[in-house]
Every structure is written in structure tokens, then in C-alpha cells.
Amino acid sequence: MSIALEHVNYVYSPGTAYEKQALRDVSLEIPQGQFVGIIGHTGSGKSTLIQHLNGLTRATSGRILYEGRNIYDEGYDMRWLRSQVGLVFQYPEHQLFEVDVLSDVCFGPKNQGLTQEECEKRAKEALNLVGFPEKYYKQSPFELSGGQKRRVAIAGVLAMRPKVLVLDEPTAGLDPKGRDEILDQVERLHKETGMTVILVSHSMEDVAKYVERIIVMNRGGKMLDGTPGEVFRHYKELEEVGLAAPQVTYVMHDLKERGFDLSPDATTIEEAADEIMRSLA
Amino acid sequence: MEGSESMEMIHAENLVYEYDKRDEDGNIVGTNRAIDGVDIDIPQGSFAAVLGHNGSGKSTLAKHMNAILVPTGGTIWVDGRDTKDPAELWNVRQAAGMVFQNPDNQIIGTVVEEDVGFGPENLGVPTDEIWKRVEESLRSVGMLEYRKASPNKLSGGQKQRVAIAGVIAMEPKCIVLDEPTAMLDPNGRKEVIRAVEKLRKEKKVTVILITHYMEEVIDADQVFVMDGGHIVMHGTPREIFSRVEELKAYRMDVPQVTMLAEELRQRGLDIPRGILRREELVEALCRLR
Amino acid sequence: MIRDITIGQYYPAESRIHRLDPRVKIICTLLFLVSLFIQNSLLGYVIATVFLGVVIRLSKVPLKYIVKGLKPIVILLLFTVVMNLFLTQGGERLVHFWIFTITENGLRTSVFMAVRLMYLVAGSSIMTFTTSPNGLTDGMEKLLHPLNKVNVPVHEVAMMMSIALRFIPILLEETDKIMKAQMARGADFESGNIIQRAKAMIPILVPLFVSAFRRANDLAMAMEARCYHGGEGRTKMKPLKYKARDRMAYIFTVFYLILIFVVGRFVDFKLWIF
């Protein structure tokens, strides 16, 4: 019950002037139920990486195993895979197209060939999971606020009942409260359903607060992989590749340099406050 | 207003903007107030920031500074000119340049330099002068080496810098940036904020930055927080960020360092309110030892 | 995928052809296209090939790009060749099997037509590769300026064209993205009959239109904010003025025209059936 990548390489438009190696020998395994963050700046390969997970983009070489089976095997059911590994793109609200919210969320299940009844049941269940109020089910998705549109779009993927949910920059363009609301909702979802959640982001603060494991991508390769504490210990290397650790990590390191007796591994405000209080006591 | 005009870049009195609410058939069923009684004063050469959640009215306010929208009540003067006066329209737009959120949707040219020249062309600037301005503006945002490039091949941060250069080339007294970093990654955000900072220092233009990234407003002379079409908080960044609970109620946030300082203060440490930078926090903690 | 379409795209480089006045390039391209139709002889095509070759060389656009630009017309090309090959009769029979006959004339016409079509596309793509879309529309605007007197909004049309060209790549990329997003929701664009496939396009077309309108709205606002108010009182960053090299280019093209016309008509040179 996991996703595994084995030596995956991906080359864009090979043989042309635009040729570019987007992924370089990436190997990793994500066990079922994990909450993982993938970090990297634009062009680091993180978006390409997640498009491999549901077979939208086909690796130039290497293997991808979902629940132990190679997805590139002859006759492998890609559409089934896409319902298992739900991928929510950046600005997902731009894919909404139906006349009302409920029908839009039904699009996924309908493509799975389910009956109208079952589709609606799953759509309602998904909308419920993202905390979308029932009174707006019959509203046109184009008339909703930005945050609500995004919820509908995420529900559109959840309605296929995936076992893995991949979110590409789910908070882009939202205001601070909107960011927290979406991420809190995702966290709740993870806890309630036991789904694997893969969160792609460039906000270190967001990722550090929610995930149990961080994978850092750089130039198409996997650069770091570990718990937030482990990864941010490399804050200097992160900076060299144009990323940064959360601000609290810097505060902790500064304090340690100034002679405070503390462990600088804190990545969230609570952890940092605990550690500072302990060292001052 | 007379007399003080020369000092104020933007001055608004009891500004109101209403628009019609329509039902599904397009019939007017009421009005919405996007801006409701706003008074602001932004002195020439200063840096003002407007914070607010999505839908707070901050973008609508920004669009009034460039006469994209004209108030339905009250008055806004830009560089001493009433934006309601049709005869002043082009002067207002020349005085206050505007940079928008989406980098793709504001670049008109298919070559960087042609895009930067678009504004001066509209103003009727002579050809030689356009070339000078284009070069100078591109240099000031650090994009001169991309002058022949296609905008489609640039990163988000680079595109926004081109958009800023396009505004600078019109030689405005003031630049209004309406969430210029909302669609960028952290590197792009840094690039844009650095370019704006440089303009502020070197060209002494008035900068009005609309944003919801708290880190970007730390250097502002004054910060306005908007909610429901009103200005609900106003002060220096330090004053604003010392009111953490209030900010949160307006769907805003504070920089993580400020939040950590606040958390420590609540746990009983003697740390001043409104800490903005990590050096300040480290110093404050060192004093406690 | 969809992004590989190169026709109508600008290839930035510093070359003699790039520096030419867009009006020269538009007129000379038209003349070149005409030249392909006023003659039909082997020598004529040789001269056209030399002319095209020289221009491509001077433009510094890699040949690869131009060949890639031919990809979209492959089907049309094949169709033309096949049709001409079998349907044009006359001259000696070369091949005959079952109901198909290939004649000398058929072979000649189909080869010449194929070359003509390819040169047509290559010639026009050289123009678009070496002229920025803005330059192109500036050139059009200036050339069509006299139409202003009969109330044709030449400036507005030119502006619309240049904006359309700027947004084509953006909208193509967007189409790609929306397609992938719907595929992630299990959409299938590859199977089914024509009606099913057309129906499957709705989830792509609706978001695409919504996005195009949003962009148009934003862009209009951005243009107004930068004091755009139509063509009146506007100056040009790159005003069009003929220079010596432009006159040279005209002379060169006219010389080519005369050459191809005279040689094509009056010099008799035959190689096998061509």
C-alpha cells in the first residue's frame, strides 16, 4: 500500500532546442497514510514529479510502483490509477465548468462510470469533507468566492474517493486566513480518512506546521528527505539553492550562536517557544 | 485642499464606491458598498501599504488611485487632481502608475522592450526619448539584459519587474502595486520587493503596496488595514503588528517572528510588543538572560 | 504536445533579415508567394530554392525550426500529393496497377505542388520568425493606413492582432493544463465516436473561455492604466522608416522576380520529366 519511484528520469521535448531534464534519477517511497510535503522553487521539478504519480506524465526511464504494481505495465488501468491518486492542480478553480457546484463535483465519479445516485452521494460526501456549506450546492461555481471555489475543486477530486491526495500549491493566491483554513481542512481530512496527503508548496512555514516528512527538490533531483527538523537543520544548503527555512529556525540558530543552550531543531512557533522557555528557565 | 496639494500624493475624503447587485436576469436588486467612507493621506515620496483579506475592498481602493474606477461618493485627489474630472483623466493615470496581480495579463508587448515602450507611446513621447526611458527603466529593475526576450519565456518575478519598468517609463510620481506578488514564489516575491525598494530609494517615487504578505510591509511609513470597505487599522508597521489579536480578527496574519515574540510574551517573558525582525527578537532575548 | 506549434512564432536573433523593415518583409513575402505561382518549371524552382535558402541563411533561424513549422501541413501535403499523383492525367504512363495510373504529368504536378506548398509555408514562417508580432502589425497598419480614409479602423485591428499573437502561446499552455486537470478527474479525450469526443471537449472549452474573458478584462484594464486611448496622439517606439538596406531588399526581390519569370518562361531546361 504505497507509491514508490525507482530511478525516475524525465526529459522534456527530447531532441529539440527546448530539451530539458526535468527529473533526475528520483527514487522515493511514500507509505500509505503519510502526510508529506514536497518543497522546491519554480522549475525544481516538483510539479513534474507529482504528475508522474498518477500517470499523467510518463517517465523517460525508471519505474513507478503503485501498491507494488508497475504502472507502466502493459494493460495497466491508468484511469483507475487516477481515481486512486487524486491530483489537485495549482489554481484548481480554473477547471470548474459545470452549471452548479454539485454537478461539477460529480464529474469525476461520472467518469468512473458510477450511477447518478452514487455520483451525487459521493459528491455530497466530498463537499462535506472540505467543509462546503450545503445551501450553495445548486449555485453556479463561478459565483463563489475564491476560497469556496477552491474547496469545490478539491472536492471534485475527493469525490473519486482517492487513497492518495496530491495538492499542488493549494494556498496560492489566498489571504492568510484562507490559507490556514484550507490547510486545516486538509489536515482534518488526513486524520479522518487516513488518506496519504502529498502537499506541494513553496511556503516553508506552511509545510513545517503540517507535515511529518519533507522532500526537497532541486534541479530535478531529490536534495533532502526527512522530518521537518532534520531538513531545516540544513538551512544553509537550502538557502544556497534559493529556498529558506522557516523564520523560527533562523531565530533558534541565532540564539544558539549567541550562547543559548537549546536545540535549534524547532520548526513551529510552539516548539520554538517551548525550547526558548526551557533554556531560559 | 488648496495649499496642501503639493505635499499629498493621494488624498481621499469620505470615499465611497457602490456597485449594483444584480439577480440572475440582470435586474438590479440592490447595491453593494466595496468602499465605505475611506479617508487617507499619502504624502509625496512616502511608502504606504494597504493590507486586507480578499474581498476587503483593498483592490477597489487601489483602482481609484489610477482612475480605473471613479468614486460614487466622496472625492479622491491624485497629485492634487480630482479623479472625477474627465479632463484630468490622463494626467491622473500618468501621475499614478499601476502594477496588477497577474503577470501574464498586463504585458501587452511580445518583446520586453516593446512592452516597456507601450506607456510612453500612448503619452506621445518622442521616439528618441522613448528609447532612453525604456533603457533606463529596464536597468532600474535589473531587466536590461532581457530587453529582446519574449515575455513568455520569463519567470513570474521577471515578468512583474517588466511590468514595473513599463510603469516607470511613464515617469509617474507614484506607483500603485495591487498585490504584485500574490502569484509568485518566494524568490519571485523577493525580486519584486527588492526592485520596488530600489525605486523608492533611488527615484523617490511614492509607493503604495497592496498585499497580504506581512513581511513585505515592514519598511512602510504607514500601514492601512482594510475590512468590509473600511479602514479599520492605521499606523506604523510596529504599531499595527503589536495588535496581533486584532489583525487575526481581520483575517490577517503577522510575520512568524512577531508571532513567536507574542507567544513568548504571553508565556510571561518581558519582550516588547511589535517585534518585526529576527535580530530584534534575538536581542530582546539576550537581554533577558 | 500542443506547445510545439512553431508557426506564427517569433525567433529572436540579430540578423540582416530581422533588421529589415516589416513592410519590406510583408511585401517581399507576398511577392515570393506570387513567384511560386507564375512559373512551373524545374529551373524556376531551383531559383526559388536558392532565394529561399539565402534568406533562411541570412535570417539565422535554424533550418530545424522551419522544418518543424511544416509539420502541421503534413496531412494537407500528403493529400495534395496523392490527389495530384492519381488524378492528373496526361503524358506518358509511368506506373499502372488495378485502377490506379500514374502519369508523367501527375508525378510532375504532385512534386511541384508539394514543393510549392512547402515553400509557401516556409516563406511565410520566415517572415513571422524574423518579425516580432508587433513589428508585423505595425507594418500591416502602415501598409493599410490608406484604408483609414474609408473608415476602416486599421489601428484597432492591428492592435487586436498583436494582442492575439501575444496570447496564443499562453492560451495553448492553459489548454494543456486544463486538459491535464480534467484527465486527473478521469476525463477521457481519446476514445469514443465524434459526438462523444466533441462532448468531452466541454470541460476544456468552458474553463478556457472563462479564462480568456478574465484575461481580456484584466488586459483592458492594464492598457487603460497605461494611458492607452486608441491610435490618436500616439508616438512609436519603433517608427517605420525605409533605410538603405530596405531598398536593397526590394531590389534583390525584384531582381529575383524578374529572373524567375524570365527563366521560368523562356529558358528551356528539362531533366527527365521535370
Rounded CA separation B12/B81 (Å): 11
Query: Would you call A248 and B260 a contact, using CB atoms and an 8 Å cutoff?
Result: yes
Mutate to test the interface with A, among B23, B32, B256, B259 (most CBs of A within 10 A): B256
Question: Which is higher by pLDDT, A18 or B65?
Answer: B65
Alpha helices in A19-115 (DSSP H): 46-53, 78-84, 101-111
Q: What is the pLDDT of residues C31-64, one digit of tens each?
A: 999 998 888 788 889 999 999 999 999 999 998 8
Alpha helices in chain C (DSSP H): 16-19, 22-37, 42-59, 63-70, 74-87, 104-130, 133-143, 154-184, 194-200, 202-225, 244-266
**Confidence at B3, pLDDT banded by 50, 70, 90:** very low
Cell of C234: 500616439
Cβ-Cβ pairs closer than 8 A, B with C, add up to: 101
Angstroms from B231 CA to nearest CA on chain C: 25
pLDDT of B152 higher than 50: yes
Angstroms from C10 CA to nearest CA on chain B: 8
pLDDT at B236: 95
C203 to chain B, any CB pair closer than 8 A? The answer is no
pLDDT of B91 higher than 90: yes
pLDDT of B26 higher than 90: no
pLDDT at B4: 44
Cβ-Cβ pairs closer than 8 A, A with C, add up to: 64
The model's pTM is 0.85
Mean predicted confidence (pLDDT) in B177-192: 91
Residue B224, strand partner residues: B50, B234
Question: Which is higher by pLDDT, B272 or C101?
Answer: B272
Average pLDDT, chain A: 92
B117 to chain C, any CB pair closer than 8 A? The answer is yes
Query: Would you call B53 and A177 a contact, using CB atoms and an 8 Å cutoff?
Result: yes
pLDDT at B56: 92
- ipTM > 0.95 for the complex: no
pLDDT at C228: 93
pLDDT above 70 covers a percentage of chain A that reads 98
Is the distance from CB of A27 to CB of A222 less than 8 angstroms?
yes
Residues in chain B within 8 Å Cβ distance of A178: 53-54, 251
Q: What is the pLDDT of residues B94-130, one digit of tens each?
A: 999 999 999 999 998 888 999 999 999 999 999 999 9
Rounded CA separation C16/B105 (Å): 32
Picking from A21, A62, A89, A39, the residue whose alpha carbon sits closest to that of residue A223 is A39
| Rg over CA atoms, chain C | 23
pLDDT of C2 higher than 50: no
Query: Would you call C215 and B104 a contact, using CB atoms and an 8 Å cutoff?
Result: yes
Closest residue in B to A251 (Cα–Cα): B278
pLDDT of B5 higher than 50: no
**Confidence at A155, pLDDT banded by 50, 70, 90:** very high
- Find the largest Cα–Cα distance for chain C: 70
Q: What is the pLDDT of residues C189-242, one digit of tens each?
A: 877 788 888 888 899 999 999 999 999 999 999 999 999 988 888 888 888 889
pLDDT at B1: 42
| Rg over CA atoms, chain A | 20
C238 to chain B, any CB pair closer than 8 A? The answer is yes
Rounded CA separation C5/C21 (Å): 26
Query: Would you call A112 and C186 a contact, using CB atoms and an 8 Å cutoff?
Result: yes
Angstroms from B22 CA to nearest CA on chain A: 12
- Who among B155, B187, B288 is closest to A280 (CB)? B288
Rounded CA separation C37/C53 (Å): 18
C184 to chain A, any CB pair closer than 8 A? The answer is yes
Q: What is the pLDDT of residues A234-274, one digit of tens each?
A: 988 988 888 888 889 999 999 999 999 998 888 889 999 99
pLDDT of B162 higher than 80: yes
**Confidence at B185, pLDDT banded by 50, 70, 90:** confident
Picking from B61, B253, B232, B244, the residue whose alpha carbon sits closest to that of residue A178 is B253
pLDDT of A1 higher than 80: no
- Who among B100, B118, B149 is closest to C218 (CB)? B100
Residues in chain A within 8 Å Cβ distance of C187: 107, 111
Q: What is the pLDDT of residues A84-110, one digit of tens each?
A: 999 999 999 999 999 999 999 999 999
Question: Which is higher by pLDDT, B254 or A163?
Answer: A163
- Who among A16, A82, A97 is closest to C186 (CB)? A82
pLDDT at C8: 58
Closest residue in C to B151 (Cα–Cα): C166
Q: What is the pLDDT of residues A160-207, one digit of tens each?
A: 999 999 999 999 888 888 899 999 999 999 999 999 999 998 888 888
Query: Would you call C186 and A86 a contact, using CB atoms and an 8 Å cutoff?
Result: no
Mean predicted confidence (pLDDT) in C251-260: 92
Question: Which is higher by pLDDT, C123 or C274?
Answer: C123
A54 to chain C, any CB pair closer than 8 A? The answer is yes
